[in-house]
Structure 1
Amino acid sequence: MKQFLFALVLTLSVFKIAAQDASVEKSTFGIQIGFLGIWAHNESKLTNSIALRSELGLDAAIFGENFVGSKSFIMVPAITLEPRWYYNLNKRVDKNRRIDGNSGNFLSIKTTYHPDLVLGSLPNYTVFISDISIIPTWGIRRNVGKHFTYETGIGIGYYHLFEKENVIMPDKNGVALNLHLRLGYRF
């Protein structure tokens, strides 16, 4: 009986230790599309629950003088660095849910830089000014099958416009919103 109890305690201890060692992947690479853009990303492991996401992509914008008048569509390169803390990996493992491909809930600080480069045409009276934004974000990421993912997130933060010569800007700083829904493919 003592041997049985010892084996039971040892087995439960091993499962508990395995659950505590849930970890993000060493490196994962993929592409994502969303309502306003396309992005390629890599997430590299920093600790068992923190990954650094680096992302290159094109953010899209649609704007116009009014809803009836002419509209413009542009794409702007976006460079993003985003440390992500996947805070529920152990809980997902305990419930036999997937964590591959960094599937889980996360908190992050999304830092995005848009250079002074526009793909598309701007009206003559419009000037694009490069900017940087820092947005604390909460989100979820889930896998469907082996390669497909979906991700959503929301956050509110800060942006700063970089001043250009001969452009008068009343507000160089402001409130930035990150609201995204993306579908992706993981390699």
Structure 2
Amino acid sequence: MKKIEHNKLKLSNISLLVFVCLFIFLNFFQVAVNAQSGIQTDTTARKQDSTVKYLTPWEYAFMMNEETSWMFKIDFPATFDFNQIKLGIEKRIAPGFSLNLDIEFYSNSKNQYEKFSSERFSGLNASLESRWYYRMNKRVKQLNVARNMSDNYLALGFEYGYQFNTYPYIFSTLDLYAKWGVQRRFLKYGHVDFGVKASIDLLYGRHVFTFNNFIDVGFAFTKDKYKIDRNILCPVLKCYAGDKFIIKSNLSNTFGTLLSKVAISIGFHPHIAFERKISHSSFSVNFALRPGINYHLINFNGSKSDYWSYSVNTLLEGRWYYNLKRRMLKGKSGNGLSANYLAIGGELHYENKYYYSFDSFYPDYVAPKLYIVTGWQRLFGKHLYYDLNIGIGYKFKTKNEDAGIAWPFNIAVGYRF
């Protein structure tokens, strides 16, 4: 009976917290919409601020010529096992300091085994953090950039998480965390935020410590003053470059660490991809490989064990860059691999130990599928890229998978050679 009352009390607290976060978020959103409605269209070009002439093309692409006091963000965290969307609002509260509120919804996208289908879940995270843009004041004085939110930062905050579909358990977390991050606006509406994050769960004395890297990619909206001059951006957009072969390294989910009273888990998951253009056509072949290795030490119910597990995810696809010629005619790209595309391919995922509960695993998990996706790949400067795609696929029946529809959604941000 006490447990039921405790759960009811906890649910009421959860509801109150979610309501407060939504209330704050909606108020910020209303301010953002009202301000955005007052922006003049790009057809009424304005004279660029004199600070532009002091900026490099990269600083200009990162919108460092625009004074920014608030920003509304829609992001898609680049993770391997989850589908996520994050809504956020950031408001400057003092020179070099801001408050950032995020509400994130997620679900596990990896298909569970037929006999363990109840392990599918979704959840909500709400976080509030204070950010210190530790270089901003110096950059404003010495480099003549506008006071904006495209800079490196340190952050300290709280995050509350609630996971659904875990009946009869109620799973929630309350984390205190610290971050070092790099946030950049890109060409008015683009947004990326990446770095490293360390957190500790404060609920019920669990003291679970995690340390991992993160990458959020999406859109940012604010009140801008000037129209973008794309003639300045050719060194960034590589307007006339024609790459025939690139090696790509996706930096999302590269490493992760978890420390608690009952478990230690350390994982390393590098990613590398090779893409070759077919002659001078708009077609290419893309091959990607993500190996993974994990170490686990578990001390549960008086039983102690440690082990290694490994995984590999590989795909091969053909791509058609359907708007490449149009981008070339507009001077936005050379005859390379920076355009929108359609792709048809196959993917295979293997894990020697797939955990469906805290201390139970299923050996030799295999998940093959075919898919068709539409995507957006852009190459920037000499070494940067992003690649986003979404589509539909077909999962084949295996000993631990049912045949059925798959919904691929992938984000890659990283370094290229």
TM-score by length of 2: 0.32
Sort the Cα spacing of 1:101 and 1:39 in 2 relative to 1 into closer, same or farther, 3 A. farther
Measure the CA separation in 2 of the matches of 1:55 and 1:24: 21
1:30 counterpart (239, 248, 253): 248
Greater relative contact order (Cα < 8 A, sep 6+): 1
Counterpart check, 1:162 vs 2:394: no
Amino acid at match of 1:174: G
SS in 1 for 2:362: coil
Partner Cα separation in structure 1 for residue 371 and residue 407 of structure 2 = 7
Q: Of residues 77, 99, 110 in structure 1, which corresponds to 2:312?
A: 77
1:26: how far off? 3.0
More moved, 28-37 vs 107-116:
28-37
SS of 1:98 mapped into structure 2: coil
Query: In the alignment, which residue of structure 2 is the partner of 1:137?
Result: 373
Is the partner of 1:143 in helix, strand or coil? strand
Aligned-residue CA RMSD in angstroms?
Answer: 3.2
* Alignment check: 8 A CA contact 2:251 2:415 kept: no
Q: 1:90 aligns with which of 316, 325, 335?
A: 325
Residues 1:172 and 2:402 are matched in the alignment: yes
Q: Secondary structure at the match of 1:162?
A: coil
Deviates more, 1:99-108 or 1:149-158: 99-108
Question: For 1:1-187, what aligned pairs fall within 5 Å after superposition?
Answer: 25-34=243-252, 38-47=270-279, 48-58=281-291, 76-99=311-334, 102-118=337-353, 123-127=358-362, 129-163=365-399, 172-187=402-417
Percent identity of paired positions between Structure 1 and Structure 2: 26
Aligned-partner residue type, residue 178 of structure 1: P
Letter matched to residue 333 of structure 2: R
**Contiguous gaps of at least 5 residues in structure 2:** 1-239, 255-268, 294-308
AA aligned to 1:32 is: N
Greater fraction helix: 2
Alpha-carbon distance between aligned partners in 1 of 2:384 and 2:355, rounded to the nearest angstrom: 30
Q: Secondary structure at the match of 1:91?
A: helix
Query: 1:57–1:99: structure 2 CA closer, same or farther, 3 Å change rule?
Result: farther
Q: When the two structures are superposed, what TM-score results if normalisation uses the length of structure 1?
A: 0.66
Q: Is the 8 A contact 1:75 1:119 kept in 2?
A: no
Equivalences, count: 147
Residues 355 and 362, structure 2, Cα contact 8 Å, conserved in 1: no
Measured in 2, the distance between the counterparts of 1:59 and 1:85 equals: 30
Q: Sort the Cα spacing of 1:118 and 1:29 in 2 relative to 1 into closer, same or farther, 3 A.
A: farther
- Distance, in Å, in 1 between the alignment partners of 2:412 and 2:375 is 11
Distance 2:336 2:414 in 1: 11
The letter of the residue matching 1:53 is: N
Q: Which residue of 1 aligns with 2:127?
A: none
What displacement does 1:44 show? 1.5
Question: CA shift at 1:147, angstroms?
Answer: 1.0
* Residue 99 of structure 1: how far off its partner (Å): 4.0
Q: Distance in 1 between matches of 2:246 and 2:409?
A: 23
Separation of aligned partners in 2, 1:24 and 1:87: 16
Is 2:353–2:361's contact at 8 Å kept on the other side of the alignment? no
1:118/1:149 CA distance change after superposition, 3 Å? farther
- 2:328, 2:335 within 8 Å by CA — same for their partners in 1? no
Alignment check: 8 A CA contact 1:24 1:45 kept: no
Residues 251 and 271 in structure 2, CA contact (< 8 A), matched pair in contact too: yes
